[in-house]
Amino acid sequence: MFMTQLEMARQGQISDLVREAAAAENIDPEILRQKIAAGTAVICRNNKHLNARPLAVGEGLRTKTNANIGTSGDDTSIDKELEKAKVAAAAGADALMDLSTGGPIDDIRAAIIAETDLCIGSVPLYQAACDAVLRQGKPIVDMTVDDIFDGVKKHLDDGVDFITVHCGVIRDTVARMEREGRLLEVVSRGGSFTVEWMLHNNAENPLFEFYDRLLELVRPYDAVLSLGDGFRPGCLADATDRAQVQELIILGELTQRAQEAGIQVMIEGPGHVPLDQIEANIKLQKRLCHGAPFYVLGPLVTDIAPGYDHITAAIGGTVAGAAGADFLCYVTPSEHLRLPTVEDVHEGVMAVRIAAHAADIVKKIPGAIEKDNAMARFRKNLDWEGQFSVAIDPAKARRIRKESGVDESHGACTMCGALCAYKVMNERKREKAAS
């Protein structure tokens, strides 16, 4: 009889995927099994994604990072997105989300899944919307319930490991949002599609109304449900308002229903959040959603830095991760401006990895601070190859040093040259030892 990873964990069984993921985390498989059984960790790996490494996400584990890629109606190049996938993987991203909405999106998704062994996520509602508009020639609001569920099935059949579904976007929350007032209303694409569909059809969100159908559909694939934040704040002024919190309450209830059906769940979160509200947002999610893993976009801590939003997101991501967020989605310098370039993808992955590592130091994840201690020892000894070996971006560090025109005879860098503090202190110790 088929059992999901959650069901096996609750039966006390340690699956091969759990063993493999635990080895990657350098923890006892039994500890990981217990976390999965409790719903505080998940194993992302669709049964049909045979070339994928299982990715463990959750409490007490290394903070994971995701890179969003995918086409738009203005740029439909498969080759560009495949190059971004390669660059993101080489830069150290743990997962990729294909958010394609332009061109041959089925072919693009299949190519991205085949390109790496990374965990893959997607938003199936985009598929349904694109099929409605581009293939059937009808407005998004005329999608049928079957169209929406067919989109989900298509992505699961292709091997997507976690799917974002905006099940918490319901009519009552829309009314609450409108009564309270928001500057940017709904900035989530999936959320906006769902709101417009509900208003046009005078009907409830099908992914909420027919949630049991969704659970039955997902179960054979053992994919992770990533319950999307359709009401995530798109600016600081909208953060932690009643629409966002009401959706989170609903997602907590849906988390319990999914877990009771043997389906693994993680929760998606904001968005744009002032620095002093981030920790409260994380703690609220963990409380309302019973400790389910939390996946956040950023969060961005200011709205005025287009071109530098990878930095604003890294600031927020560090605070979020340190407070307990488990999965950080990158933001590139192109956020709010354009589809990211290959170079933007690399910069975005590096920024989010820095945030994740800084958070892991606070979380006392085994092996995190040891890397920093190794860097300190290499710096003390002016061991440049050692420094490059533990640097988060060795190629960039090596290039910058080479471009400086440094005089290698004194072993230091061009910041201090022969007056390098390490050099002075090392010479002092040698003199003291010789006396």
Measured CA to CA, the distance from residue 163 to residue 186 in angstroms comes to 20
Asked whether residue 232 is marked as a ligand-binding residue, the answer is yes
Asked whether residue 100 is marked as a ligand-binding residue, the answer is no
Rounded to the nearest 10 degrees, the angle between the axes of helix 342-363 and helix 78-91 is 30
Asked whether residue 191 is marked as a ligand-binding residue, the answer is no
Asked whether residue 336 is marked as a ligand-binding residue, the answer is yes
List strand residue ranges (DSSP E) for 151-263, in order: 162-165, 224-227
Q: Is the peptide bond before 299 cis (omega within 30 degrees of 0)?
A: yes
Asked whether residue 422 is marked as a ligand-binding residue, the answer is no
Measured CA to CA, the distance from residue 258 to residue 290 in angstroms comes to 12
Measured CA to CA, the distance from residue 77 to residue 195 in angstroms comes to 30
Asked whether residue 287 is marked as a ligand-binding residue, the answer is no
Asked whether residue 211 is marked as a ligand-binding residue, the answer is no
Asked whether residue 97 is marked as a ligand-binding residue, the answer is yes
Asked whether residue 126 is marked as a ligand-binding residue, the answer is yes
Buried b (16+ CB within 10 A) or exposed e, 93-130: bbbbbbbbbbbebeebbebbbebbebbbbbbbbbbbbb
Measured CA to CA, the distance from residue 70 to residue 332 in angstroms comes to 13
Asked whether residue 413 is marked as a ligand-binding residue, the answer is yes
Measured CA to CA, the distance from residue 309 to residue 347 in angstroms comes to 11
Measured CA to CA, the distance from residue 358 to residue 117 in angstroms comes to 26
Cβ neighbour number for residue 237 with a 10 Å cutoff = 14
Annotated binding site: 68, 97, 126, 166, 188-190, 229-232, 268, 272, 295, 336, 413, 416, 420
Annotated binding site for [4Fe-4S] cluster: 413, 416, 420
Annotated binding site for Zn(2+): 272, 336
Annotated binding site for substrate: 68, 97, 126, 166, 188-190, 229-232, 268, 295
